[in-house]
């Protein structure tokens, strides 16, 4: 673990009941860094995020955030110490307004609620356009931005994002990814991004982990992973140039 | 006629508590409870026993709320992972379980004979017994209404609504869904318990046959009529159901082609039909209730 590491996971073994999905996965993330996790379906990407946020508890391994071991803590405690999580699709409360959705993201942190709402509005200015709209009536891209805003309400140091581009148009994906990059580089928030849309995710990432069958297969800086012919062939759909940014 | 109207309003107020309770559980939180009558019955028996033992009416109300609330907590903790139809079946079964206990327990609950001679609260000066009771019931209902309104607008209410929409997402933002669901059951059951206490006190007599599953269906109809989650709508729905159930008794003076028993059946059929129409129109796919 280096001094700049904000989040470090080592040797994570986890799954659902008897079914083990993660077989000793490791990951590290520095402040203000975007790290993408890619891999084929079923390789454990979403399970990794659920383990990091505390929805699933690992049977082995260790998770350290800001120097504190959080492996055995509950989700609420992890949110309080600086983890934020946006689950995959259907991640907003459809009958609530944008503002109400954001308020749901508050955890017991000191500070004025109005100030916090305004701070999130500054980070994601487009929220103002549909502030009082019911989330269920928003487009997929707008819903993702609302979900991002809700996660930001707790002032996280690290954001865990599970396929934020799922079901989005290319234009909406670009907008959401633009926000993610800005949150990271301007706000200093570390981002772990699980994505199927690897080309676009790698374009905004600093580093990348490639998973296969619940294990680390490759890791490195995003550009070298994107240029790796094996990764390109297996995970990035080499030849599908139309999808490249 | 005035006395009859006052009686309808008293029943509407009493069932208003039960419906407001169900509105917290089902309307706000999405927990389908078809056994709300169990908490109503527990409150009624608790208050009947307490007031007969000489406890003041207000203390009996508090005890009824506490006992019913505790029963609500037990149901919630026993069914933490149940949603929708499975929870509906369990709560329906639970209400029959409670009714059968009262039916067979003779030492305390009086078995099938029930409990007679339940005292009424002191009369409000200047009012007769009936209007005094209406004033007390309506006053307490106003407090319950205010509480329910506040609850729905506060962060707790927002979280209950969020659970109704997606429990998984609520869990992912670090909120204990079990705690909130238990709270919804406790509050809803406590309100039903207060309604039960008023019911026992108003009628001065209770027996197990007054606490059949039809009561749960009536209050469900009231919440459905008023729009799921709406506090004011729930009270309006309760008034309509009370009027349909009690007010239609007057029809016997105008409709002579059917006898009293048939008319009673027709009233229930009318309520059932109204429910079917409301559900078909208001809750059809793609339309927001």
For B132, half-sphere exposure in the C-beta direction (CA atoms, 13 angstrom radius) is 12
Q: Chain B, 44-63: which have a CB under 8 Å from a chain A CB?
A: none
ipTM of the complex: 0.79
Judged by CB atoms closer than 8 Å, whether chains meet at B169 and A93 is answered as yes
Is residue A111 exposed (0-12), middle (13-18) or buried (19+ Cβ within 10 Å)?
exposed
Average pLDDT (A138-149) is: 93
pLDDT exceeds cutoff 90 at B271: no
Distances in Å between the Cα of A137 and the Cα atoms of A104, A153, B135, B160, B169 are 18, 22, 44, 21, 18
Give phi and psi for B244, each to the nearest 5.
-65, -40
A62: β partners: A10
- Alpha-carbon gap, residue B278 to B276, rounded angstroms: 6
Residues of A within 8 A of B166 (CB-CB) are 90, 93
Q: Are B219 and B36 in contact (CB under 8 A)?
A: yes
B289 touching chain A per CB within 8 A: no
- Alpha-carbon gap, residue B59 to B64, rounded angstroms: 9
Greater confidence (B158 vs B82) lies with B158
Q: What is the 3-state composition of chain A as percent helix, strand, coil, each rounded to the nearest 5?
A: 40, 25, 35
- With a threshold of 0.90, does the pTM exceed it? no
Output the pLDDT for position B127.
79
CA dihedral B75, B174, B32, B286 (to 10 degrees): -170
Could you tell me which chain A residue has the CA closest to the CA of B160?
A104
The rounded percent of chain B whose pLDDT value lies above 90 is 59
Residues of A within 8 A of B161 (CB-CB) are 93, 95-96
Which pLDDT tens digit goes with each residue over B167-194?
888 888 888 889 999 999 999 999 999 9
Output the pLDDT for position B190.
98
Q: What is the 3-state composition of chain B as percent helix, strand, coil, each rounded to the nearest 5?
A: 75, 0, 20
- Alpha-carbon gap, residue B196 to B190, rounded angstroms: 10
A56 touching chain B per CB within 8 A: no
Q: What is the mean pLDDT of chain A?
A: 88
Judged by CB atoms closer than 8 Å, whether chains meet at B162 and A107 is answered as no
Greater confidence (A42 vs A86) lies with A86
Output the pLDDT for position A197.
86
Output the pLDDT for position B262.
81
Judged by CB atoms closer than 8 Å, whether chains meet at A96 and B159 is answered as no
Where are any strands of DSSP class E within A87-243?
158-162, 190-194, 207-212, 215-221
β A215-221/A207-212 pair status: antiparallel
Q: How far is A238 from chain B (nearest CA, A)?
A: 35
Among the partner residues B165, B170, B175, nearest to A94 by beta-carbon distance: B165
CA dihedral B50, B51, B53, B59 (to 10 degrees): 60
Greater confidence (A15 vs B270) lies with A15
pLDDT exceeds cutoff 50 at B124: yes
Output the pLDDT for position A230.
79
Residues of A within 8 A of B288 (CB-CB) are 95
- Alpha-carbon gap, residue B225 to B244, rounded angstroms: 12
Residues of A within 8 A of B162 (CB-CB) are 93, 96, 104
Nearest by Cα to A100 from A138, A69, A72: A138
Output the pLDDT for position B216.
93
- Alpha-carbon gap, residue A208 to A106, rounded angstroms: 30
Judged by CB atoms closer than 8 Å, whether chains meet at A93 and B162 is answered as yes
Positive or negative, the CA dihedral B159, A146, A245, A186 is negative
Output the pLDDT for position B43.
97
Could you tell me which chain B residue has the CA closest to the CA of A56?
B172
Greater confidence (B127 vs B11) lies with B11
Burial readout B37-52 (b: 16 or more C-beta within 10 A, e: otherwise): bbbbbbbbbbbbbbbe
Q: Chain B, 104-163: which have a CB under 8 Å from a chain A CB?
A: 155, 158-159, 161-162
Name, of A2-16, A62-76, B74-88, B238-252, the range with top average pLDDT. A62-76
Average pLDDT (B105-116) is: 90
Average pLDDT (A207-231) is: 89
Judged by CB atoms closer than 8 Å, whether chains meet at B166 and A100 is answered as no
- Alpha-carbon gap, residue A24 to A31, rounded angstroms: 24
Nearest by Cα to B70 from B38, B100, B93, B116: B38
Q: Are B267 and B261 in contact (CB under 8 A)?
A: no
Greater confidence (A207 vs B254) lies with A207
Which pLDDT tens digit goes with each residue over A85-122?
999 877 899 989 999 999 998 876 656 888 889 999 99
Q: How far is A47 from chain B (nearest CA, A)?
A: 13
Q: What is the mean pLDDT of chain B?
A: 89
Task: Read off the tokens for A98.
Answer: 């944008």
Output the pLDDT for position A208.
94
* Residue A240, number of CB atoms within 10 A of its CB: 10
DSSP assignment of B208-222: GGGGSHHHHHHHHHH
Placement of tokens 């009086």 in the chain: B110
Output the pLDDT for position A5.
86
**Edge-to-edge strand order for the sheet containing A19-30?**
A19-30, A5-16, A60-65, A68-69
Positive or negative, the CA dihedral A194, A196, A197, A203 is positive
Which pLDDT tens digit goes with each residue over B129-165?
889 999 999 999 999 999 999 998 888 999 999 999 8
Q: Are B283 and B27 in contact (CB under 8 A)?
A: no
Among the partner residues A76, A92, A93, nearest to B174 by beta-carbon distance: A76
B49-54, long-range: CB < 8 A, 24+ apart? B49/B108, B49/B115, B51/B118, B51/B119, B51/B200, B51/B201, B52/B115, B52/B117, B52/B118, B52/B119
Output the pLDDT for position B244.
81
Output the pLDDT for position A239.
44
């Amino acid at each position: 673990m280096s001094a700049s590491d904000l989040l470090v996971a080592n040797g994570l073994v986890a799954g659902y009941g008897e079914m083990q999905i993660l077989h000793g996965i490791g990951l590290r993330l520095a402040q203000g860094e975007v790290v993408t996790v890619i891999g084929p379906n079923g390789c454990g990407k979403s399970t990794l995020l659920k383990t990091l946020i505390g929805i699933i508890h690992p049977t082995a391994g260790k998770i350290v955030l800001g120097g504190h071991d959080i492996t055995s803590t509950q989700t609420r405690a992890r949110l309080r110490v600086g983890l934020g999580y946006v689950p995959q699709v259907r991640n907003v409360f459809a009958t609530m307004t944008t503002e109400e959705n954001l308020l749901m993201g508050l955890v017991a942190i000191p500070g004025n609620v109005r100030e916090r709402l305004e701070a999130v509005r500054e980070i994601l200015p487009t929220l103002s356009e549909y502030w009082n709209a019911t989330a269920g009536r928003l487009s997929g891209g707008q819903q993702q931005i609302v979900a991002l805003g809700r996660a930001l309400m707790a002032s996280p140091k690290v954001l865990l994002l599970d396929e934020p581009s799922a079901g989005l148009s290319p234009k909406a994906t670009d907008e959401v990814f633009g926000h993610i990059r800005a949150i990271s580089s301007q706000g200093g928030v570390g981002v772990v991004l699980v994505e199927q849309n690897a080309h676009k995710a790698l374009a905004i990432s600093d580093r990348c982990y490639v998973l296969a069958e619940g294990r680390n297969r490759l890791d490195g800086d995003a550009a070298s992973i994107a240029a790796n012919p094996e990764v390109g062939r297996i995970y990035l759909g080499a030849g599908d140039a139309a999808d490249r940014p | 006629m005035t006395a009859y109207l006052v009686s309808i309003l008293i029943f509407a107020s009493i069932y208003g508590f039960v419906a407001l309770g169900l509105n917290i559980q089902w309307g706000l939180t999405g927990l389908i409870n078809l056994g709300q009558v169990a908490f109503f019955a527990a409150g009624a028996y608790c208050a009947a026993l307490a007031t007969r033992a000489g406890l003041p009416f207000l203390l009996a109300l508090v005890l009824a709320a506490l006992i019913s609330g505790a029963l609500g907590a037990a149901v919630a903790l026993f069914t933490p992972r149940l949603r929708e139809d499975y929870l509906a079946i369990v709560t329906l079964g639970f209400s029959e379980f409670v009714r059968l206990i009262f039916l067979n327990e003779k030492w305390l609950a009086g078995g099938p004979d029930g409990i007679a001679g339940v005292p009424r609260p002191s009369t409000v000066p200047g009012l007769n017994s009936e209007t005094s009771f209406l004033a007390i019931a309506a006053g307490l209902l106003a407090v319950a209404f205010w509480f329910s309104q506040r609850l729905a607008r506060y962060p707790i209410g927002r979280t209950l609504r969020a659970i109704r929409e997606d429990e998984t997402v609520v869990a992912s933002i670090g909120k204990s869904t079990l705690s909130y669901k238990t709270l919804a059951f406790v509050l809803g059951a406590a309100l039903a318990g207060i309604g039960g206490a008023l019911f026992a006190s108003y009628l001065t007599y209770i027996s197990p046959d007054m606490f059949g599953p039809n009561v749960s269906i009536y209050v469900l109809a009231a919440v459905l009529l008023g729009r799921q989650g709406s506090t004011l709508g729930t009270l309006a729905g309760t008034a309509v159901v009370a009027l349909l159930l009690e007010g239609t008794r007057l029809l016997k003076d105008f409709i002579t082609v059917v006898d009293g028993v048939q008319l009673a059946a027709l009233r229930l059929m009318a309520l059932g039909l109204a429910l079917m129409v409301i559900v078909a129109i208001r809750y059809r796919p793609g339309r927001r209730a």
